[in-house]
Amino acid sequence: MAKFDTGTGFIHYEIIEKPGAAQPTLTLLHNFMSTGRAAWGPMLDDLSERFRILLPDLPGHGQSIGHPAGFRHDDLAEQTAAFMTACGADAGHIAGCSSGGMITQLLVQRGLIRPASVTLVSTTYTTDPRKLFDSEAAFTTENFRAGAGWMEATARLHDPYHYDGYYEESLLAAFRKFGPEETIDLPLASYATWSMPVCIIHGERDEFFPVSVPRRLAAALPDAQLHIVPRQTHALIFRRPQEVERLMLNFYDKLSEERS
């Protein structure tokens, strides 16, 4: 366990690696209102067989204390970039889910990192409802098809490290105010400059970001693999972690074959 000073607090993180092994680094960015372990935990054993894993709690989440005003994703990206650079991960592989995927895209688009590959799970290039087309209220907690008690379970990831009610007063309140200015709204044409391979994994019935979103994104990228998981909704790393892991490992296998 370690901490990285961000200026508005610190990022709490883990590095998972085999002693003495020269493995490439894979940074895993979790979704909003989650933590590194909660989001990626089921995949860590297998992924750490191939990679040095950099696993942060994003600013203001879990054991990370302090965050930019309003959790503005551009500012989160700047803090994440500084953290990754300090850990020697800015040229490694990166994967992000939902908000973690938005931050990943901002990192690349702004030239803050130059990753070897990118994996985007259950995410989007915009939260502007006029561009999402399918729903005028797609990005709301009320639309999230989660199991009973998910709000209480999510609060337990954060409140013990902050204060009782922190999750609802800070994280959930910020999420309910999110729009394109706070999160992401990138032109599809800008993705033509991406030179690294990209793996996109998305649920067919994602209730936040309709399946047209990853399809448009994949079409805009020069080197993209698109995987639509049938009958699945948002946050696939929770609903189908084994499927996401399988698709990611297949992606990395293909990269290794191409470079050998």
DSSP assignment of the chain? -EEEE-SSSEEEEEEE--TT--PPEEEEEPPTT--HHHHHGGGHHHHTTTSEEEEEPPTTSTT-B---GGG-HHHHHHHHHHHHHHTT-TTSEEEEETHHHHHHHHHHHTTS---SEEEEES--SB--HHHH-S-TT-S-GGG----TTHHHHHHHHHGGGS-TTHIIIIIIHHHHH--TTTS-B--GGGGGG--S-EEEEEETT-SSS-THHHHHHHHHSSSEEEEEETT--S-HHHH-HHHHHHHHHHHHHHHHHHH-
Domain residue ranges of the chain, discontinuous segments joined by +: 2-254
Which CATH number among 2.30.30.240, 3.40.50.720, 3.30.360.10, 3.40.50.1820 corresponds to the domain 2-254? 3.40.50.1820
Residue-level pLDDT at 258: 85
DSSP assignment of 189-222? GGGGG--S-EEEEEETT-SSS-THHHHHHHHHSS
Please give the share of the chain, as a percent, with pLDDT higher than 90. Answer: 86
Alpha-carbon distance of 209 to 202, in angstroms, equals 9
Residue-level pLDDT at 87: 97
Residue-level pLDDT at 142: 57
Q: Is the pLDDT of residue 145 over 80?
A: no
Q: Is the pLDDT of residue 139 over 60?
A: no
110 Cβ contact partners less than 8 Å away, ≥ 6 residues apart: 74, 77
Find tokens 């939260």 and name the residue: 127
Q: Is the pLDDT of residue 220 over 70?
A: yes
Residue-level pLDDT at 134: 52
Distance (Å) of CA 110 to CA 54, 72, 120, 235: 21, 15, 17, 25
The rounded mean pLDDT for the chain is 93
Residue-level pLDDT at 90: 97
Q: Is the pLDDT of residue 219 over 90?
A: yes
Read off the pLDDT band of 143 (50, 70, 90).
low
Read off the pLDDT band of 12 (50, 70, 90).
very high
* The token pair that represents 214 in the structure block: 């990853």
Q: What is the mean pLDDT of residues 128-142?
A: 65
Q: What is the mean pLDDT of residues 29-57?
A: 97
Residue-level pLDDT at 138: 52
Residue-level pLDDT at 212: 94
Amino acid at position 206, single letter: D
Residue-level pLDDT at 148: 55
- Taking only the tens place, the pLDDT of each residue in 54-83 is 999 999 999 999 999 999 999 999 999 999
Q: Is the pLDDT of residue 31 over 90?
A: yes
Read off the pLDDT band of 132 (50, 70, 90).
confident
Residue-level pLDDT at 85: 98
Read off the pLDDT band of 168 (50, 70, 90).
very high
Return the closest-CA partner of residue 78 out of 103, 115, 57, 97. Answer: 103
Task: Say if CB 71 and CB 60 are below 8 A apart.
Answer: yes
Alpha-carbon distance of 145 to 143, in angstroms, equals 6
- Taking only the tens place, the pLDDT of each residue in 178-196 is 999 999 999 999 999 999 9
Residue-level pLDDT at 82: 98
